[in-house]
């Protein structure tokens, strides 16, 4: 029985470990069938509206290709093409689009805008990224870890760098699945306390653990997964040189990697800035799974779309 049909996907916090696992299992099935040349047109006749108020490579392509492979159709809508960009209330956009399409994906800055869209829409809304959260990325990250290690419960993952939207969704997703997650970030750049507290509550229930640390070496000690992201996210370009100084000791390189488990995998949600948050040697080395991780955006989102639309 599918208990996800009609649900919004705004944050992994809204989903149980069993529900997340069901998405991952379907993703693995759909990925296998696609590679065998046996695509499943599970969304034939369905349409997804994709609202982009922030630029994207992976989000746009993975959702658009995913809908195509499932037999449906995706509409790209930039803010310049929508009346919402000229002052139309979000509630009106939500109501009207709900009359035309079967689902809405939005990539924007303010998380409150996604919540408002979901409140007034009568079709499922998917959070494609906000400044607070990036749940679709975390879903594909969990899929990648499950593929590479064979399990999630008890996996030790270290996130090194800025406590941003990717870190937030990883904290929530990993803690839901009984994983042990350590975040290594400079003082002043830790994840939001509210998110960390939610993750700790999840971990208490799932058997996982959550630590927020300052020293990157302490965070990655014996980790099976090392994860990093850009030091300056979209909208923070003016802070880039300042942040470069702050985060200099947080580069994922061979020295830091040597402190992790011998067979540790290295992840990055991309785009990556070589020799900043990650060295070229590690990004392109034998431990890196970043391209598999990027590909899994497609498969994880296909599973999500299938279950909620």
For 137-294, CATH gives 3.40.50.1370
pLDDT at 282: 98
Query: Could you state, in order of their start, the residue ranges of all structural domains in the chain?
Result: 12-134+297-308, 137-294
Q: Is pLDDT of 189 > 70? A: yes
pLDDT at 26: 98
Asked whether the beta carbons of 305 and 283 are under 8 A apart, the reply is: no
Per-residue pLDDT reduced to its tens digit, 259-296: 999 999 999 999 999 999 999 999 999 999 999 999 99
Reduce the DSSP state of residue 131 to 3 states and report it. coil
Helices 165-176 & 17-35, crossing angle to 10 degrees? Answer: 100
Per residue, the 3-state secondary structure of 140-188, as one string, reads HHHHHHHHHHCCCCCCEEEEECCCCHHHHHHHHHHHHCCCEEEEECCCC
Do the domains at 12-134+297-308 and 137-294 have one common CATH topology? yes
Query: Looking at the domain 12-134+297-308, which fold is it?
Result: Rossmann fold (3.40.50)
pLDDT band at 86 (very low <50, low <70, confident <90, very high): low
- The candidate with the shortest Cα–Cα distance to 161, out of 11, 273, 263, 290, is 273
Q: Which residues are catalytic?
A: 107, 134, 137, 229, 269, 297
Q: How far is CA 286 from the centre of its chain?
A: 23
Task: Output the average pLDDT for the chain.
Answer: 95
Q: Is pLDDT of 85 > 60? A: no
How far from 163 is each of 45, 96, 203, CA to CA, in Å?
40, 36, 18
Q: What is the pTM of this model?
A: 0.96
Helices 290-308 & 135-149, crossing angle to 10 degrees? Answer: 120
Q: 102: alpha, beta or left, given left = phi > 0 and alpha = psi -120 to 50?
A: alpha
CA torsion sign, 215 to 231 to 227 to 275? Answer: negative
């Amino acid at each position: 029985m599918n208990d996800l049909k009609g649900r919004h996907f705004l944050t992994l916090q809204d989903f149980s470990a069993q529900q997340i696992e069901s998405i991952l299992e379907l993703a693995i099935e759909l990925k296998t069938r696609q590679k065998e040349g046996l695509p499943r047109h599970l969304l034939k006749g369905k349409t997804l509206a994709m609202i982009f108020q922030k630029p994207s490579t992976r989000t746009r392509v993975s959702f658009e290709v995913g809908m195509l492979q499932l037999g449906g159709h995706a509409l790209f809508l930039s803010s310049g093409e929508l009346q919402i960009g000229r002052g139309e209330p979000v509630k009106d956009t939500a109501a009207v689009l709900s009359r035309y399409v079967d689902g809405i994906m939005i990539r924007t800055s303010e998380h409150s805008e996604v919540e408002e869209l979901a409140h007034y829409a009568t079709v499922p809304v998917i959070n494609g990224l906000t400044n607070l959260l990036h749940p679709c990325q975390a879903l594909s990250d969990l899929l990648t870890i499950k593929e590479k290690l064979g399990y999630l419960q008890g996996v030790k993952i270290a996130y090194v760098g800025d406590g941003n939207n990717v870190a937030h969704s990883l904290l929530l997703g990993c803690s839901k699945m009984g994983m042990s997650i350590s975040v290594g970030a400079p003082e002043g750049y830790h994840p939001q306390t509210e998110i960390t507290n939610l993750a700790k509550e999840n971990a208490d229930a799932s058997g996982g653990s959550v630590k927020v640390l300052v020293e990157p070496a302490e965070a990655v000690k014996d980790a099976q997964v090392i994860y990093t992201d850009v030091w300056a996210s979209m909208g923070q370009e003016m802070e880039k040189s300042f942040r470069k100084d702050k985060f200099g000791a947080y580069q994922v390189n061979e020295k830091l990697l040597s402190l992790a488990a011998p067979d540790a995998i290295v992840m990055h949600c991309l785009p990556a800035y070589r020799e900043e948050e990650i060295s070229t040697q590690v990004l392109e080395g034998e431990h890196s799974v970043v391209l598999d991780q990027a590909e899994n955006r497609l498969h994880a989102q296909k599973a999500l779309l299938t279950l909620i639309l």
